[in-house]
């Protein structure tokens, strides 16, 4: 098979699944990553196939395995779409040290692990794209989101720095920060009675922006944070 290759984390559901469906329809060859084999299998069915890798992006060795498997299967890599996230609602007083580390590692450290693993590949081929999914909570967190908001704010700055480093080797780094998205993670935090479904973005809304970044239609936004929200009448 021909076609560009993309690694998608958090691919088992939500934004990651929607991105896989959109990119698969465009002929991208997919490496689908999450911690749930059954969810990955369903995403692959919806997206028309893909390499399934069960991995925890908080662990550098497991991230290395993702890249090793991808290169062995496809012998190439064109893009990374990093959608994996963790967003427990905890006050500063309630949050444990372990929970803090889990949130930072899932949302921020993992982005470094992925970029670090990809950098030499991208440098060698003088091209590559990284799309990281941030959140509006990076600039406007509600109570209980201190860890998540801080992690996503750090992700925003990491994206800017990585884009500046990547410019000389043809690498673009995009950061997308959506408002509320109708996902299982969001509904685990905010019930529909508190935030109606019609006010939330669909995962496909975010996926379409991801595709624009990967394809280069938003090439001039490399390093910037793209905030998106649903306009309600």
Query: Which residue carries 């959140």 as its tokens?
Result: 135
The answer to whether residues 163 and 222 touch, using CB atoms and an 8 Å cutoff, is yes
Enumerate residues 6+ apart whose C-beta is below 8 A from 96. Answer: none
Report the chain's C-alpha Rg in angstroms: 17
The answer to whether 87 touches 189, Cβ cutoff 8 Å, is yes
Task: Find out whether 55 and 62 touch, Cβ atoms under 8 Å.
Answer: yes
62 is written with which tokens?
Answer: 């497991």
- 74 labelled catalytic: no
Q: Does residue 3 come out as left (phi exceeding 0), alpha (psi in the -120 to 50 range) or beta? A: left
Question: CB neighbours (10 Å) of residue 177?
Answer: 23
What are φ and ψ of residue 7, in 5° steps? -95, 130
Asked if 66 and 5 count as a contact pair (C-beta separation under 8 A), the reply is no
- Exactly one of 74, 113, 148, 195 is catalytic; name it: 148
* Catalytic (active-site) positions: 148
């Amino acid at each position: 098979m021909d076609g560009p290759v993309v690694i998608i984390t958090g691919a088992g559901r939500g934004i990651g699944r929607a991105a896989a469906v959109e990119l698969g329809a465009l002929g991208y060859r997919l490496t689908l990553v999450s911690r749930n084999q059954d969810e990955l299998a369903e995403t692959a069915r919806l997206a028309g196939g893909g390499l399934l890798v069960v991995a925890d992006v908080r662990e550098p060795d497991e991230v290395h395995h993702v890249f090793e498997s991808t290169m062995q299967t496809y012998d190439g890599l064109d893009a990374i779409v990093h959608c994996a996230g963790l967003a427990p609602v905890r006050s500063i007083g309630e949050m444990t040290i372990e929970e803090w580390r889990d949130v930072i590692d899932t949302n921020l450290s993992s982005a470094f692990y992925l970029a670090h693993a990809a950098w030499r590949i991208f440098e060698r081929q003088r091209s590559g794209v990284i799309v990281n999914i941030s959140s509006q909570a990076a600039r406007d967190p509600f109570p209980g989101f201190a860890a998540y908001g801080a992690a996503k704010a750090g992700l925003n700055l990491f994206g800017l720095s990585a884009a500046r480093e990547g410019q000389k080797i043809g690498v673009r780094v995009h950061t997308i920060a959506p408002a509320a998205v109708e996902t299982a993670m969001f509904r685990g935090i905010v019930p529909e009675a508190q935030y109606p479904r019609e006010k939330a973005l669909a995962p496909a809304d975010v996926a379409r922006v991801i595709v624009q970044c990967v394809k280069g239609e938003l090439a001039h936004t490399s390093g910037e944070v793209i905030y998106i929200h649903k306009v309600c009448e």
